[in-house]
Amino acid sequence: MNWPNIPREIFCMITGFRRLEVIRCFALVLIVAVLLGGASANAKVYKWVDENGKVHFGDQVEAGVEEKAE
């Protein structure tokens, strides 16, 4: 494969820098995703049954069913 007439050291520095930039960006996105995933894993889920016998799940309890929610 013939590269343009650029010294090999300069070409490696340019392509290596871009590769490092992509790796850093990917690592940052991965860290943010892990941190946000952990925050949502701590959310509390409530379960309650309405007057018709239907089971509901949610992160907030509707008014009037606080005492029956699990």
State the pLDDT at residue 29. 92
Structure confidence by residue, pLDDT tens digits, 1-34: 555 666 666 766 666 667 777 788 889 999 998 8
Run of H or E residues at 8: helix 8-41
**CB of 55 within 8 A of CB of 70?**
no
Does pLDDT of 51 surpass 90?
no
Identify the bridge partners of residue 48 per DSSP, sorted by sequence position.
56
State the pLDDT at residue 2. 59
Model's pTM, two decimal places?
A: 0.40
